[in-house]
Chain A
Amino acid sequence: MFFELNDKQKNFQKKVREIYEKEVNPLVDEYEKKQTFPKQLFRILGDYHLLLVKCPKEYGGPGMDKISECILTEELNRISIGIGAGVMVHGGLATDPILRHGSEEMKRKYLPPAVRGEKIGAFALTEPDAGSDASGIRTAAIRQGDGYRLNGSKTFITNGTICDFVTVAAYTDPTKRGKGINLFVVEREDKGFSVVRKLEKLGNHSSDTAELAFDDCYIPKERMIGEKEGGGLEQLEDTLKSGRITYGARSTGVGQAAFEKIFSYVKETKRYGDYLARSQAIRFLLAEIAMNIEVMRYFTFRGAWLFDQGIATMKDASMVKLFCTETLQKILKKSMSIQKEAGLIDENPIQRLLRDGRLFKITEGTSEIQHIVIARELGL
C-alpha cells in the first residue's frame, strides 16, 4: 500500500497544470460570457494528448490509466468546470463505449480523430421524460434494410451544438424494458439529425448543452456499437463507473479552486477592523475545507486505483461521486456565504464555482440515484 503519486504521475500533474494555465485559463472569462465552448481548444488539447487519455496507442491515444485521467481532470476543473464538462464528455461518455465495445473498423474510424480533437463527440441518453430512469427512454431504432431508423429526442446533451458525432442510446426492441437498448454513432451530417436548440443554464456557461432530435434518421448497422441487438445499457456499465470516479476528481479540483480563492479572500478582507483570517470560526472553517479536499482527493485516487486493477464495483464509483459532489456543495456554500455581497458580483470566482458545481449533484446520476445504487449493492 502506498499513498503517494509516483514521480511520473507527479511530473504529469505538473505538466498538465502548466498546459491548462497556459492554454485554458486565458479563454475562460471570454467563453463564459459568450456562453459557448471554445471549440478551438479541442485541437490544442488533442496536440498535447489530453483528450482521450485512456485510449491505447494503437488508436493514437497515450494509453494512460484512470489515475492519470483523474490527475488531469482535477487540474482542468480547477480552472474551468464548463470547459471541463465538454472535454470530459468527449473523452468519456462519447468515445469510451466505442473503445470498449466498438468493432475494429469503428475504433479506427472514430478514435484517432477524437484523440487529435479533430472530431468532437457527444453522448445522448437523457430524454425529456427519462432522466434518472434511463430505461424509460423512448427513442427507437427500427431495423430497416442494412441499418436502423432512429426516431426520438434527447435533451441536456453536452457538446450537443458543436459535436461531429454523437453516441445515442435507442431501443431496438422496446418490448424488452432496459434490455432492448443499443448504442449508435450518429454523425452530424446524417439526414434526420438536428440540433433543436441550445439550452440556457444556471452555470457551466462555457459548455454547450442542447436538445437533439432524430427524425427518421437512417444509420447503417456498422454504426451500432456491438454486434447483437440489446444490451446497450450493460455496455455503458464500465463507462458510467469510470465517469462517476471522474466526478471525484472534478469535485476535488473545484474544491481546490474554491479553497485558493477563499484563502486569499479571508487574508485580504477586513471586517470590523480585523482580518477575517484572524477570526477563530473562519480559521476552523478553512481547516475543515482543506481537510475535506484531502479526503476527496484520496478517496478519488483509491477509486481510480480500484478501477485500474479492474476490481472497482459500481458501489465504489457511486460512493466516490456521492461523497465528493456532496462535500463540494458544503465547501462552495460556505465559501459563498462568508463573502456576503462581494460574492454576488459577476466577476467573483466563487459564485461561478457555486453555480457550476451545483450541476455535479444532478448529472451522471443524481445524488439520489447514487444512494439507490449503493444501497442495492450493499445487499439491501
Chain B
Amino acid sequence: MEFELSLEQKDIQRAAYEFAQKEFDPDLILELDSHHQFPHSIWKKASQLGFIGVHYPEEFGGQGLGLFENLLIIESFCKVDSGIGSALSLVDLGSEILLEFASHEQKKRWLTPLAKGEQQLSIAFGESEDENDISSISTIVKERGDGYLINGKKRFVWNTDLANSFITLCKDDKERLMTCIIERETQGLEIHSINKIGLRMLSFGDIDLKEIFIPSENIIGEIGKAAKYVKHYFQNSSLRFLAQALGTAQGAFDRGLQYAKQRVQFGRKLIEFQVIRHKLAEMAIGVEVMRLLIYRLAIDCDQRKMDPKFFWITKQEVGRRLIEIVDEALQIFGGYGYMVEQPVEHYFRDTWAIISKLGTEEELKDSIANELFVPISKKK
C-alpha cells in the first residue's frame, strides 16, 4: 500500500494548479458567475493543454491515464475556483459511457472532439426529480426505417446550452432500456433553460424530445443492456462531482485560513483565537478525510474493483464534510463572506449544486444498509 502520488501525478497536479492560477481571473469569475456564462476561452486553452480527457486513450485525443489523474486535475481547478473548475469538469459528462461501451467508430466521432475542445457532451437520463431513479423512464423509442424515433421529456439536464450532443436513456415497446446519442441540431429537440443558484457558469434545463429521429449508429451498445451502462455512468461520473467537492473544500479552507491570518479584531488576528483555530482544524480534518476517501475510490475505479458500499459511504461523508467546511469558511469571513465579491460566497452556492449530485443522506444510507444487510421489501 502506498499513500503517495507518483512523480507524474504530482506534475499533472502542479500543472493544473498553475494553469488555474494563471487563467482563472477573479474579476472574470464574478462576471461569468453573475451572467450565467461559460468560461469559453479557458476551456479552449485547457483542452489545448490536454487537461480535458486525460483518461481517454491516446487514439481518441487523451493521454491514456486514469480517472484518478482526471480527478487530480478537477481538484486542482476547483481549489482555485469552484465555478470554473466545475464547468471544466462537466464538459464531457457522459464520456464514461462512450469510453466503456461505444464502438470504435462512435468513440472516434464523439469522444475525440471532446478531448480536443471542439465539442461538449452531456447526459439526459432523468425524467422525474431524481436522475438516479430510472425505474420510471417513459421516453419511448420506436424503430423507423434505418433508425429510431424518440418521444419523451428529460428533466434537470446539465450543460443544456453548450452540449453538442446528449446521451439519453429510453425504452422500446418491449420495455428494453437503451442508450443513444442525440445531437443538438436534431429536429424536435427543445431545450427549456432553468436558472439555478450554484455552478451558474453551467447551463441547466429540461429537454423535450418530440419525434426525434436518430440513425441506428447513434445507439450505444446493445438494446436491453442499458441498465448496466447507466450504473457504470453513475459510479464513474460521481468521481467528477467528488473531485469538485474536494477541490471546493480545499479552496474554501485555504481562503478561510488566509483571511483568519490577516483579519484583526479585538487587537488580535482571528487565527489567534482558539475557537477559530479549532474551526480551521476541524476543516483540515474534513479535507483530509475527503481526500483519502475520494482518492481510494478513484484508484479502485481505475483498477475496476470498486466496492459499491464504499462508493456510497464516500459520497455520504464527502457531502456532509463539504457543507460543513464551506459553511465554516464563510463564517470566518463574517459579513464579508456574505458579499458576492468574496469567492467564498459562490463557493457556498456552488457547494449546494455539487451536493445535489452526490445523493441524499437518506438514500445513501438506504443503499449502504441494503448492501450490508438483507434489503427490506417495499410494502405496497
**Contact residues of A with B, CB < 8 Å?**
126, 129-133, 136, 155-156, 199-203, 269-274, 279, 281-282, 285, 329, 333, 336-346, 351, 354-355, 358-359, 361-363, 366-368, 371
Known contacts: A344-B356, A346-B196. The answer to whether A202 contacts B338 by CB under 8 A is yes
Query: Which residues in B have their C-beta under 8 angstroms from that of A367?
Result: 331
Q: How far is the CB of A32 from chain B (nearest CB, A)?
A: 12
Q: Is the CB of B135 within 8 A of A272?
A: yes
Q: Is the CB of A340 within 8 A of B362?
A: no
Let me know if B35 is at the binding interface, CB within 8 A. Answer: no
Residue in A202, A337, A354 whose CB lies within 8 Å of B345: A202
Determine the distance from Cα of A336 to Cα of B129 in the docked complex, in whole angstroms.
14
Among B74-82, B182-190, B346-354, the stretch that binds chain A is: B346-354
25 contacts between A and B (CB under 8 A): A132-B266, A199-B340, A200-B340, A201-B338, A202-B349, A271-B128, A271-B363, A282-B362, A337-B323, A337-B355, A339-B356, A340-B360, A341-B129, A341-B156, A341-B357, A343-B352, A344-B353, A346-B194, A359-B338, A361-B331, A362-B331, A362-B335, A362-B337, A368-B275, A368-B331
Let me know if B100 is at the binding interface, CB within 8 A. Answer: no
Known contacts: A131-B334, A272-B135, A362-B338. The answer to whether A346 contacts B360 by CB under 8 A is no
Known contacts: A126-B335, A155-B335, A281-B365. The answer to whether A351 contacts B275 by CB under 8 A is no
Give the B interface residue count (CB, 8 A): 48
Q: Is the CB of A344 within 8 A of B335?
A: no
Determine the distance from Cα of A362 to Cα of B344 in the docked complex, in whole angstroms.
14
Residue in A129, A132, A272, A361 whose CB lies within 8 Å of B133: A272
Known contacts: A346-B196, A361-B331. The answer to whether A281 contacts B362 by CB under 8 A is yes
Closest to B320 in A: A337
Residue in B136, B197, B363, B365 whose CB lies within 8 Å of A344: B197
Chain B residues 355 to 374 lying within 8 A of chain A, measured CB to CB, are 355-357, 359-363, 365
Closest to A203 in B: B338
Known contacts: A201-B340, A345-B196, A362-B335. The answer to whether A129 contacts B264 by CB under 8 A is yes
Residue in B265, B276, B334, B355 whose CB lies within 8 Å of A136: B265
Known contacts: A269-B129, A336-B352, A337-B360. The answer to whether A202 contacts B340 by CB under 8 A is yes
Q: Is the CB of B266 within 8 A of A340?
A: no
Q: Is the CB of B353 within 8 A of A271?
A: no
Let me know if B131 is at the binding interface, CB within 8 A. Answer: yes
Let me know if B378 is at the binding interface, CB within 8 A. Answer: yes
Closest to B158 in A: A341
Query: Which residues in A have their C-beta under 8 angstroms from that of B133?
Result: 271-272
